Structures are given as C-alpha cells and as structure tokens.
Amino acid sequence: MESIRRTKIADLLKQPAIDTTVNVKGWVRSKRGNKNVNFIALNDGSSIKNVQVVVDVENFDAELLKKITTGACLSVVGKLVASQGAGQSVEIQASDIELYGEANPDEYPLQKKGHSMEFLREIAHLRLRTNTFGAVMRIRHNMAIAIHRYFHEHGFYYFNTPIITASDAEGAGEMFQVTTLDLARTGADGDVAYDKDFFGKKTNLTVSGQLEGELGATALGAIYTFGPTFRAENSNTPRHLAEFWMIEPEVAFIDKDDLMDLEEDFIKYCVQWALDNCMDDLEFLNKMIDTTLLDTLHSVVKEDFVRLPYTEGVKILEEAQAKGHKFEFPVTGWGMDLASEHERFLVEEYFKRPVIMTDYPSEIKAFYMKKNADGKTMQGTDVLFPRIGEIIGGSVREESYEKLTNEIKARGMELDTYKWYLDTRKFGSCPHGGFGLGFERLILFVTGMQNIRDVIPFPRTPKNAEF
Amino acid sequence: MESIRRTKIADLLKQPAIDTTVNVKGWVRSKRGNKNVNFIALNDGSSIKNVQVVVDVENFDAELLKKITTGACLSVVGKLVASQGAGQSVEIQASDIELYGEANPDEYPLQKKGHSMEFLREIAHLRLRTNTFGAVMRIRHNMAIAIHRYFHEHGFYYFNTPIITASDAEGAGEMFQVTTLDLARTGADGDVAYDKDFFGKKTNLTVSGQLEGELGATALGAIYTFGPTFRAENSNTPRHLAEFWMIEPEVAFIDKDDLMDLEEDFIKYCVQWALDNCMDDLEFLNKMIDTTLLDTLHSVVKEDFVRLPYTEGVKILEEAQAKGHKFEFPVTGWGMDLASEHERFLVEEYFKRPVIMTDYPSEIKAFYMKKNADGKTMQGTDVLFPRIGEIIGGSVREESYEKLTNEIKARGMELDTYKWYLDTRKFGSCPHGGFGLGFERLILFVTGMQNIRDVIPFPRTPKNAEF
C-alpha cells in the first residue's frame, strides 16, 4: 500500500485538493454499482457526510470486493477528482484498498435501512455508527466545548465537586448508595456496620454539586461544575435518566438581574455555537428528526427572553383555563408548582419565546434561595424553553446566616449536616447566585431528539445498565 | 453607595485605569495601618494578587472599620491611583465601603499566618480562600481548558462513558458498589436480591471508561473522556484518591509511533498552556512550594521525550544496580513491573528528560493491548515524568477478534462479559489506540504540590468523605 498520510473525510471535503492522491480510512455505509464499477460510501465519523469511493472492478481482487459490505472498515488510496455523479462534488478513484475489518452481512445488525430508536437503544454500543447518533454525538461534543469556552472567557473556574458524598445536598431526590460492604453479609442482624464501610459512614452519589460549588464561588469568585449527577428515581419517561450530566455555575456578587442576563447570554451562546459549528449535522436532524429544529434554534438566539414573575405567569394560566384551554393538570392558582405543560403553554403559545420565570413561592423551592421582602416569594430565575419546559433552574442564594439557619430549622432539616455550608455565611458572607442546567436537556433541545436516552451514549435507567 | 459596575481585581491590575473611580468586591486578606490610615489587602479569587485599599480613617465609621478583619467580605468604591508604597503599582483610595459579611477573628480559622497542609485539609471548605489553594484551583481549571481545547482542535469528540456500570472494565482495581437496596435488609439469608436492585443486577462505579471509549472511537474516529473514576483501594498515600478524574482519548487508525507523538504533543501543550496562562500562580508556587517548579515545566516542553523499549530500560536499571545504586525495590530483571523509583531513576537521573517506555512484557499489562510479533511484548506507550513517574498509560489495542478472544480465554476471563466490546473487532475492526491520563497527577506535576489530596477540592480517601 502506498504510504500517504491519512486525511479525515471532513477535512477532505472542506478543502478538496483535486487531482492529488489521498488516503482515507473509515467504515462502509453502503456499496452499490454494477459488474464494471462499484461505488462505496465511506464515513470516518468526522462528518455526517460520506466520501464516495469509485472502484474499477477489473483492477481489484473479486474476493476483496465481496468482503466490502456495509460496516466493513477500509483504508483507501486514490486520486481525488471532481465527481461526475449527483450528490457529491468530489470522489476518490481507488487505486489501492486495504480491508481492515469485515462485517458479516448475516450478523452485522446495522444494514442500510431505517431502524427504530428502540432497537438502536438495545445495540447502543453500535448505534454510534449511524448517521443520527453520529450527528447527536458531534453536537453533544460541541455543546460541551461551548460551555467550557463561555465560562473560561467570562472568568469562571471549572470546579470539580465530589461525586461520592455523605451529604444529601438539598434532599433533591432519591439517591444511590455507594458501599464496599459485602451485601450478602450486611443487615443479617438488622444493623449495618458503617464503621467498616470504606468511608466509615453512609455515602451516596451526588444529586447536585451546588452546595459545594458555593464554597468555590465564595473563594474564587465564579465557578462552574460540569459533571455527572444521579437520581435513583423509578421514572421510565423520555425525560429522565438515573445518570446525567449537569452544569452548575455559581457566582459571587451577582444580583437577580445580572443572574438573568447571565442565563440568557449563556444559553444563547451555546445555541449560536451549534448554529456556527454543527450546521451539517443540524441540517440532517432538521430533515430526518424534527423539521422545525433550525427555525426553533434561530428564534431562540434572536428573541429577547420574557422576564415573568411567577404571580403574573399563574394569572395568565388561570385566564387561559377560564377561556377554555384544557390542561392535563388543572391550574389551581397561586402556590401551585408548574408542570411542563404549563411552562410550555407560556413559552410556545402565549409569548412564543423563552421565558425566565422569577419570584416563585418560597414553599415550592429549596431552602437556600433568597426570599424577597414580601416574605412569600424568593428570587428564583428559571429559564423555560420551547419543547423542553424548564431548561435552567436558578436563584439568588440567601446570604444571611441568621435567615438561612432559621429556614433550615423551619423546614425540619438538620443544622449539623449543613455546618460547612453555613460557614460560607458565617465568615465573609457575600451576595451570590447561580443556576443548574441539565446537559442532556440542552442536547435534546439542540438536536430535536425526542427521548433523553438517545442523547447520551449509554443511558442508565431502571433495570438498564448495559455496556 | 455609588452605583459603579464592579471590576474584577485581575482585570483592574492588568489594565489599571488610573484616576478613575472603581468598584471592587472581595475578601480581606489582611489589614494593617495606624490611627490615621488603614491598608486593606483585598482579594476576589480572580488572581493571586490582592489590590491595596487605602482607608483614610477619619472619613469612616470606627465601628465599620473594626469589623473589617481577615476574611470579611467588602464592596469598596474609590479612586484608582498609582501607589506610593512598595509591593504594588496601584491602590484604591476608598470613598465608600460596604461590609457584606464579617469574619469574627475569634472563630475564623484562616487568620493571616502559615497553616499546615494537614490542617487545611480538615477545613477543605475554607482552604480555597488561601493563596496556595486559589493558585492550585486556577491552574486546575486552566489544565481542564487546555485539555478540551487540544482535543477539540485535533478533531476528537468529548464522549461521556458511563459512571455506573455492570462491567468491571479490565479488572483494573477494587470497585465501589452502587445500590438502592436497603443494606439493613440484604443478606439476612446470605443471598442478595439483585433483581430488586435499581438496575436489576449488581452495579459498580467505573474504574475506567476505556472499553466504552473504544466503542466511540470505532464510530466517531477519535474521542476523549474526561470524567470521574473510582478505586476502592485502602491506600493512604500521597498518590492515591478513591475518586479522581481521568482523561482517556481513543483514536481509530493510529499506530504506535503516531500514538507516542500524540502523547508527547498533548502533554507539552498542557504544560505550555500553564506557562502561557498561569504565570502569576506558578511564580507563587515556585516561591512557596517547590523552587524547581518553573525550571521543570520549561524543561519538559523544551526537551524531546526519550523513546525507550522496556527491555532497554531494564538493562539500564540492572547496570545502575550493579554499579551500586540502591533501589528500595531491587531490580529483578526482565519481566518485572517497574516501581515509581525505577521510572524516576530513568527520567531524573539517567536521561534527565521525560521517557516514553514501550513494548512491555504482555503478562504485566492488560488483555486488550496489541502484542508484538515476538509474542512476548506488547505495544504499550507509557509516559514517565520527573517527580511523578508514570503520568500517561497508553497502548495500541489488539484489533484481531481471534487474538483478543484467545487472550481473554487464556487469562481466565469471561468471554460473555465482553461480548459488546468484542463486537468492535467482529464488525469493521480497525487498528486503534489510546491512553489514560490521571488529571490529578497532571495537576501535581504542574503545581509542584506534594500530596494529591491538595490538588482536588474535596478529596475522597479511606474514612474521609467530608463536605
């Protein structure tokens, strides 16, 4: 085989060096042709686009060509020429083909045809080789890059809060327990010897890095987490994962208005990044998955977000209901927790643009949120999005040691558990706030995919921890 | 208080707008002075450097000034002027001071004086406010940014492999179990009802994302993981954490030489990034923690790494021992696993530059590594660094389905467990390779810190899961 440096297909298609000899390596997406000439669509994962390889049958061993089937892996050397055919601008006239790995058509499950998302979930280790999952994973990567860039450019520090924790954060959800005890030997006498466990006490997987993130923000000024979080909830829905990734920025010296500006600027930056860097993949998804995708993305970056106090939002919902709009969960008035359908009504039907909802009733929100002077509402700043509902949950935090300890006590929580957290208010307390973004919710929004299990490589859900 | 937009201290010191009125917010590092004038060193986490605030005592309430002690949080408005004193080029003449939060000197543990690293570990929630930990955390952030930039610029996709897994990867270490079973009720009859556990089977925290990463690389071409990994080893050493972060790139169509080039280029990029972006913090650490730090970093980016087959390495060690060099673990000859002291001898004393050690005996390495034609050695490519020993562990992977299944069987491992992994070799197999970098080992190297517990915000070690 001629020794020529491999070119990635994305690079080759971006700046085609016509009439030079090139080497590409990748997987066969399809092969068609006749007894004189074969056309191989080759893909190497660098792009949704394939490169067409033209094979003059008489120049190659028939046995080799027979083994070139969908899924096989090849290295191809040949001349890059302008294409005669429709559908591609360039193609490679193969002079040399090396077969790295076959894919027996009787066994390889990804023959060229549409597969259901359900079937592909069962072969999650191979679905990455499909057009849809290639596109989703490249966009997922780009969203992670956009997030790190945004925060780095704005002076936030990436801060790794613990995954295994003895704290239960805010009681935000059911937790997984982490242990090195032998389960076949614990509890025989109804008692668990946690002094013999690895950490000497009961530990869990984190449900949120926020409380530890506040420790970072009140020292470094502005931090963000970006790591896995866990919920042991028995929810079999298209919106829930037991293991998902969260981004939680936390900022010292921020007030409610600045926090809303940050949320809006941040999420627009991410969506704009996708539009600037992932257009091939987005166009594919716009065609195959959701034909409103590109319109929705463009609209989100263009429109100012509505800033809507909860009290006004509930009024709008009550009026809509009075006028005959049917909600699955009826609007019961001030104090109610909004369901996704309520959020989406405000965003998709009433305002037709994203909404930052503020000043929720304190009772339906977490203990650490800063109360307004009215004593009933708190400075929350949740961002509601089309198709998704709540995509960001944010708030200004209560910085008064006294008010915070009173709130903890009033909720019947253990003061002792939060001693280290309260130290941020005891020593050099400062106004601060932050928000949480579920990474997979962002990916759902940006890809148009319908099920959260299809925007993470290996989803963890009840009874499912394959691969 | 005058309404002026806050300036971060890092920005203020970088481009001082002399004679303008500025607003800074931060925490008091120290206060000194006399009855006429106070000097406050204020830090907001954006830089190792403080800004000096000059307070004309007669213009302020005495009660307020009394409360301004180390650790207190302030907002200061004043004129930025060229400084008369030594030690800083600019200072702020305070016209207005707002006290956000006091820090009672009788209780605040971080008074201005040196604290031992051991003591600071006990107050890990506050140690982030010290110069040393501020510097380490800013560098840690910058290393994460460098890693994402490097891979993004080189066409790798960030790929989130699962944290909770039913696979035991390569048997790389002791694992933590993840469960929702009630430990007080399991095992009463010596049997564990895993069908009732959340995932319907026994699950653990991942020890490596590599095997799943290979699924990504053989679809997307090149991926990297960057996430937490776990070892339930009862190791109380300055080099071990139960929870640590790993970076694991995996690349299709790479051979041993290209893999070594990638490793060297990648790690030099990271170190160069630190030199380009963290010099204030590095200079502080070079002065306070390790006076050879800057020299070591400069030397690593300048020198070509030695590429040394294991067999030659062992010969050098045997000769050194024969000439009288005392190793704690004697060199026993070919086939031995190298200890950190052996690696460091080669790097620090023999070659005086980093070494990529290659072609280890297969028996001392993992099952998935590609064997050389000699049948005894495999295409490993570990990078050995001064002070650290092995900082990167890499290899070309065995791509032959037949050889890999034989190796799994020969090692007495269960073929069935690796069915999904073997599918990468069954369908469209390709030459590929990759490496793993322990993030905290990189941070140890770049900061000069001695103990791995001091380069992660909240270390997890045996009997320790605080915060």
Q: How many CB pairs under 8 A join A and B?
A: 348
| Interface contact flag, A428 B101, Cβ < 8 Å | yes
Q: Residue B168: pLDDT above 80?
A: no
Nearest to A369 by CA among A399, A339, A391, A392: A399
Of B157, B222, B429, which has the smallest distance from its Cβ to A101's Cβ?
B429
| Closest chain A C-alpha to B441 CA, distance in angstroms | 15
Which H or E run contains A39? strand A37-43
Give contacts of B152 with chain A, Cβ < 8 Å. Answer: 141, 145
Question: Which residues, in sequence order, are CB contacts of B15 under 8 Å at separation 6+?
Answer: none
Ranking A383-392, B84-93, B119-128, B364-373 by mean pLDDT, the lowest is B84-93
Exposed e or buried b per residue across A249-262, where buried means at least 16 C-beta atoms within 10 angstroms of its C-beta: bbbbbbebeebbeb
- Classified as helix, coil or strand, B229 is strand
Q: Residue B437 region, left (φ>0) first, then alpha (ψ -120 to 50), else beta? A: beta
Length of chain B: 467
Q: Per residue in B126-167, pLDDT tens? A: 999 999 999 999 999 999 999 999 999 999 999 999 999 997
Amino acid occupying residue A279: M
* Rounded Cα distance, A260 and A179, in Å: 40
pLDDT at A214: 98
pLDDT at A140: 98
Backbone angles phi, psi at B425, to 5 degrees: -90, -20
Q: Residue B169: pLDDT above 60?
A: no
Q: What average pLDDT score do residues A450-455 get? A: 98
Q: Per residue in A332-365, pLDDT tens? A: 999 999 999 999 999 999 999 999 999 999 999 9
| Closest chain A C-alpha to B349 CA, distance in angstroms | 35
pLDDT at A100: 98
> What token pair was written down for A187?
């509890």
Strands A355-361 and B51-56: unpaired
Q: What average pLDDT score do residues B242-250 get? A: 98
| Interface contact flag, A178 B177, Cβ < 8 Å | yes
Yes or no: say if A47 and A88 are a contact pair by the CB < 8 Å rule. Answer: no
Amino acid occupying residue A307: R
pLDDT at B186: 80
| Interface contact flag, A462 B242, Cβ < 8 Å | no
Yes or no: say if B19 and B1 are a contact pair by the CB < 8 Å rule. Answer: no
pLDDT at B405: 97
Burial class (CB in 10 A: 0-12, 13-18, 19+), A348: middle
pLDDT at B371: 96
Burial class (CB in 10 A: 0-12, 13-18, 19+), A127: buried
Give contacts of A161 with chain B, Cβ < 8 Å. Answer: 457-458
pLDDT at A188: 60
> What token pair was written down for A324?
């005959």
Greatest alpha-carbon span in chain A: 85
Nearest to A358 by CA among A377, A343, A342: A377
Q: Per residue in B272-317, pLDDT tens? A: 999 999 999 999 999 999 999 999 999 999 999 999 999 999 999 9
| CA separation, residue A291 to residues A107, A134, A295, A296, B111 (Å) | 34, 18, 8, 10, 61
Distance of CA B200 to the CA centre of its chain: 34
Backbone angles phi, psi at B101, to 5 degrees: -150, 135
| Interface contact flag, B186 A187, Cβ < 8 Å | yes
Q: Which residues pair with B397 in a beta bridge?
A: B369, B432
pLDDT at A184: 85
| Closest chain A C-alpha to B321 CA, distance in angstroms | 39
| Interface contact flag, A252 B198, Cβ < 8 Å | no
Using 50, 70 and 90 to split pLDDT, how confident is the model at A127? very high
How many C-beta neighbours within 10 Å does residue A201 have?
13
> Mutating which of A31, A132, A161, A163 best tests the B interface, going by the most B Cβ atoms within 10 A?
A163
Using 50, 70 and 90 to split pLDDT, how confident is the model at B114? confident
Backbone angles phi, psi at B151, to 5 degrees: -70, -40
**Domain B127-172+207-454, CATH:** 3.30.930.10
- Quote the CATH superfamily of domain B9-101: Nucleic acid-binding proteins (2.40.50.140)
| Interface contact flag, B467 A230, Cβ < 8 Å | no
Backbone angles phi, psi at B211, to 5 degrees: -60, -45
| Interface contact flag, A216 B128, Cβ < 8 Å | yes
| Closest chain B C-alpha to A426 CA, distance in angstroms | 7
Backbone angles phi, psi at B259, to 5 degrees: -65, -40
DSSP string, B17-70: -TTSEEEEEEEEEEEEE-SSEEEEEEE-SS-S--EEEEEEGGGS-HHHHHH--T
* Rounded Cα distance, B414 and B401, in Å: 15
Q: What average pLDDT score do residues A53-58 get? A: 98
pLDDT-above-90 percentage for chain B: 91
- Classified as helix, coil or strand, A435 is strand
Strands B306-309 and B177-179: unpaired
* Rounded Cα distance, A419 and B467, in Å: 9
Q: Residue B2: pLDDT above 60?
A: no
Give contacts of A28 with chain B, Cβ < 8 Å. Answer: 428
Of B179, B399, B426, which has the smallest distance from its Cβ to A177's Cβ?
B179
**Relative orientation angle of helices B293-302 and B279-288, to the nearest 10 degrees:** 130
The residue to which tokens 């203990």 are assigned: A367
Amino acid occupying residue A382: D
Cα dihedral B411, B417, B419, B422, rounded to 10, equals -40
Q: Residue B452: pLDDT above 90?
A: yes
* Rounded Cα distance, A247 and A325, in Å: 35
Q: Per residue in B377-407, pLDDT tens? A: 999 999 999 999 999 999 999 999 999 999 9
Q: Provide the strand spans (E) within A49-89.
A: 51-56, 73-82
Q: Which residues pair with B56 in a beta bridge?
A: B37
Going from N- to C-terminal start, the domains of chain B cover 9-101, 127-172+207-454
Give contacts of A183 with chain B, Cβ < 8 Å. Answer: 177, 179, 181, 183, 186-187, 192
**Which residue in chain A is spatially nearest to B418 when comparing CA positions?**
A467
Q: Per residue in A172-222, pLDDT tens? A: 679 999 999 998 888 666 678 999 999 999 999 999 999 999 999 999 999
| CA separation, residue B401 to residues A70, A372, B405 (Å) | 18, 65, 6
Give contacts of A163 with chain B, Cβ < 8 Å. Answer: 163, 228, 230, 243
Mean pLDDT of chain B: 95
First to last CA, chain B: 36
| CA separation, residue A193 to residues A182, A198, B73, B183, B184 (Å) | 11, 11, 43, 10, 9
Which H or E run contains B140? helix B131-153
First to last CA, chain A: 36
Give contacts of B399 with chain A, Cβ < 8 Å. Answer: 100-101
| Closest chain B C-alpha to A408 CA, distance in angstroms | 17
> What token pair was written down for B451?
């103990």
* Rounded Cα distance, B409 and B58, in Å: 83
The DSSP code for A369 is: B
Provide Rg for chain B, Cα atoms: 27
**Alpha helix stretches (DSSP H) within A169-324:** 210-220, 256-277, 279-288, 293-302, 310-322
Q: Per residue in B403-429, pLDDT tens? A: 999 999 999 998 998 999 999 999 999
Q: What average pLDDT score do residues A360-372 get? A: 95
Exposed e or buried b per residue across A360-371, where buried means at least 16 C-beta atoms within 10 angstroms of its C-beta: bbbeebbbbbbb
Give contacts of A75 with chain B, Cβ < 8 Å. Answer: 253
- Classified as helix, coil or strand, B391 is strand
| Interface contact flag, A430 B201, Cβ < 8 Å | no
Using 50, 70 and 90 to split pLDDT, how confident is the model at B170? low
> What token pair was written down for B10?
């890092």
* Rounded Cα distance, B422 and B399, in Å: 9
**Relative orientation angle of helices B256-277 and B293-302, to the nearest 10 degrees:** 140
| Closest chain B C-alpha to A274 CA, distance in angstroms | 14
pLDDT at B191: 79
> CB-side exposure of A215: number of CA atoms within 13 Å?
25
| Closest chain A C-alpha to B136 CA, distance in angstroms | 11
pLDDT at B425: 98
Mean pLDDT of chain A: 95
Using 50, 70 and 90 to split pLDDT, how confident is the model at B213? very high
pLDDT at B70: 97
| pTM for the structure as a whole | 0.97
* Rounded Cα distance, A208 and A247, in Å: 9
* Rounded Cα distance, A106 and B466, in Å: 54
Give contacts of A164 with chain B, Cβ < 8 Å. Answer: 176, 205, 230, 242-243, 460, 465
Give contacts of B185 with chain A, Cβ < 8 Å. Answer: 187, 190
Q: What average pLDDT score do residues B92-116 get? A: 93
Q: What average pLDDT score do residues A396-413 get? A: 96
* Rounded Cα distance, A399 and A370, in Å: 7
Strands B90-101 and B51-56: parallel
Q: Residue A158: pLDDT above 90?
A: yes
Q: What average pLDDT score do residues B336-355 get? A: 97
| Interface contact flag, A220 B71, Cβ < 8 Å | no
Of A133, A177, A428, which has the smallest distance from its Cβ to B71's Cβ?
A428
* Rounded Cα distance, B74 and B420, in Å: 57
Exposed e or buried b per residue across B354-384, where buried means at least 16 C-beta atoms within 10 angstroms of its C-beta: bbbbbbbbbeebbbbbbbbeeeebbbbbbbb
